[in-house]
Chains A and B, each alone.
Chain A
Amino acid sequence: MGISHIAGNMPVSSPNSSLIYNALKECDIRLLSALPETWLVHLIRLAEQDPEMTLVRLAKEEEGVGISAGAHFAGVKSAMLMQNHGFLASINGIVSFTHLYKIPLLMLISYRGSFGERDPWQTQGGNVTEPLLRALGIPYCFLDGAETVKTRIRHAQTLADSSLQPVAVLLTRDLMWEE
């Protein structure tokens, strides 16, 4: 159908998407809220096909901040899956809910608009992603090689839980894009 057809024409790394997905499962993530973008198609399909995962498809990314807070209150580990522009769209929720109320939040953010980006419309978001994360005091790391995916996701999840704050994992071109 639509998504797999599109993904089939795009060099998004299926093996690395599976590595990321499996790492999330090993951290006991049982709810993913997501808004699709090209780099995330395999991840979203994996979540969709997994009966153990609650996948919440959002209209806008900021909703995911509230949904993850609800999941945290319910004792369910969750993560948000979004593009960096979705992170930009979530910032008020992050500041005035996640930070204000000390809610752990694992955010997987595809780092579009950085080196190698061909789509002009992604490039401004690429410029401001890391400065904004730093300005907000959000710890972040990069997923840039298959061998470190599992430990970095586990460490990010551990830090979010122990510090009761949002933590970002940036999905990079090196890992997600096979071209």
Chain B
Amino acid sequence: MLRVDCLRSIYAELEKSLVVTIMGAVAAELQSLGHRANFFYLQHAMGLASSTGLGLALCLPDQKVIVLDGDGSLLMNLGSLSTMARYRPQNLVHIVFDNESLLSVGGFPTATGTGTDLEGIARAAGVPRVVTARDLESFKAAAIGGLQANELTTIIGKVEATGPAAYVTSLTLLENRFQFRRHIQSLKRL
């Protein structure tokens, strides 16, 4: 399963949600499918995409929030799973693309490649719905199920360790950040 195909399969859902991604391949591939004002790409601070999504979800309970995380980033902030599970916002869907690799820095294997089980960790942390998807059909079903469930959901998408040719895009970090906030302010005025 390719991450970019996963993103394409749920793009219509992403367009309707507030989306926070990690850096690297996830950010570049989502932008290659089409940037939207409701997409924020955290191009550093590894580990904090899930915390950012938690802050958004707690402050905007009427908005669906989707975090596009990765195994390398989540392993840097496993405590985030316990904090998310503690408050379990029902509007938060946490998708972890697990390619068992720190792809953008040369493909060095992460601990999920040697047996660490993120599904098991998320479940044991107390996340109420945890799904592992290994093919596109089950990935899409899990994502849509998570959005409809009104229950904090973590989805582990097992994907191949391949990515885009380039990681730097034409969207500047600050432009993205201010556009994202303005977009949320415009939602609140509706």
| A residues at B contact (CB < 8 Å) | 31, 54, 56-60, 62-76, 78, 92-93, 96-97, 100-103
Q: List 10 A-B contacts (CB under 8 A).
A: A31-B55, A54-B58, A57-B83, A63-B54, A63-B83, A73-B52, A73-B180, A73-B181, A74-B184, A75-B59
Given contacts A31-B59, A75-B188, contact A70 B173 (CB under 8 A): no
Contact A70 B185 (CB under 8 A): no
Q: Contact: B48 with A62, CB < 8 Å?
A: yes
User: Across the two chains, which residue of chain A brings its CB closest to B55?
Assistant: A70
**Is there contact, CB below 8 Å, between A59 and B82?**
yes
Known contacts A71-B58, A101-B173; can you find 18 more A-B pairs with CB under 8 A? Answer: A54-B58, A56-B83, A56-B87, A63-B77, A64-B51, A65-B45, A66-B50, A66-B52, A66-B54, A70-B54, A70-B58, A71-B55, A71-B59, A74-B55, A75-B188, A93-B48, A96-B44, A100-B173
Q: Which of B56, B77, B79, B82 contacts A70 (CB 8 A)?
A: B56
Residues in B whose Cβ lies below 8 Å from that of A73:
40, 52, 55-56, 180-181, 184
- The A-contacting residues of B in range 94-130, CB under 8 angstroms, are none
Among B47, B51, B60, B80: residue with most chain A CB under 10 A: B51
Q: Could you say which residues of chain B place their CB within 8 Å of the CB of A75? A: 59, 181, 184-185, 188
Alpha-carbon gap, A66 to B86, bound state (A) = 16
Q: Cβ of A63 and Cβ of B48 under 8 Å apart?
A: yes
Q: Does B49 contact A (CB under 8 A)?
A: yes
CA gap between A59 and B49 in the complex, in Å: 15
Within the assembled complex, what's the spacing in Å between the Cα atoms of A100 and B189? 28
Max chain B C-beta neighbours (<10 A), residue from A58, A71, A101: A101
B52→A74 contact, CB < 8 A: no
* Also in contact, A31 and B58, with CB within 8 A (given A60-B79, A62-B47, A102-B177): yes
Question: Which residues of B have CB within 8 Å of A101?
Answer: 173-174, 177
The answer to whether B42 has its CB under 8 Å from any CB of chain A is yes
Q: Is the CB of B45 within 8 A of A96?
A: yes
Residues of chain A lying within 8 A (CB to CB) of residue B79 = 58-60, 63
Q: Which residue of A lies closest to B47 (CB)?
A: A62
CB closest chain-B residue, reference A101: B177
Q: How far is the CA of A179 from the CA of B45 in the complex (A)?
A: 40
State whether B184 touches A97 (Cβ < 8 A).
Answer: no
User: Taking the complex as formed, is B53 at the interface, i.e. its CB lies under 8 A from any CB of chain A?
Assistant: yes
- In the complex, the answer to whether B52 meets A92 with C-beta atoms within 8 Å is no
Closest Cβ of chain A to B46, distance in Å, is: 8
Is A59 touching B80 in the complex (CB atoms < 8 A)?
yes
- Expressed in whole angstroms, the Cα–Cα distance for A96 and B76 within the complex equals 14
| B87 partner residues in chain A, CB cutoff 8 A | 56
Tell me, rounded to whole Å, the shortest Cβ–Cβ distance linking A90 to chain B.
10
Q: Return chain B residues, CB-CB under 8 Å to A60.
A: 77, 79
The CA of A59 and the CA of B60, in the complex, are separated in Å by 22
Chain B minimum-CB-distance residue to A78: B55
CB neighbours (8 Å) of A56 from chain B are 54-55, 58, 83, 87
Task: Choose from B42, B51, B174 the contact partner of A63 (Cβ within 8 Å).
Answer: B51
Closest partner residue, chain A, to B185 (CB atom): A75
Q: A59-B79, A66-B50 are in contact. Are A74 and B60 (CB under 8 A)?
A: yes
- Give the residues in chain A near B58, CB-CB below 8 Å: 31, 54, 56, 67, 70-71
Interface string of B29-68 (1 = CB under 8 A from A): 0000000000010111101111111111111100000000
B83 touches A70 (CB 8 A): no
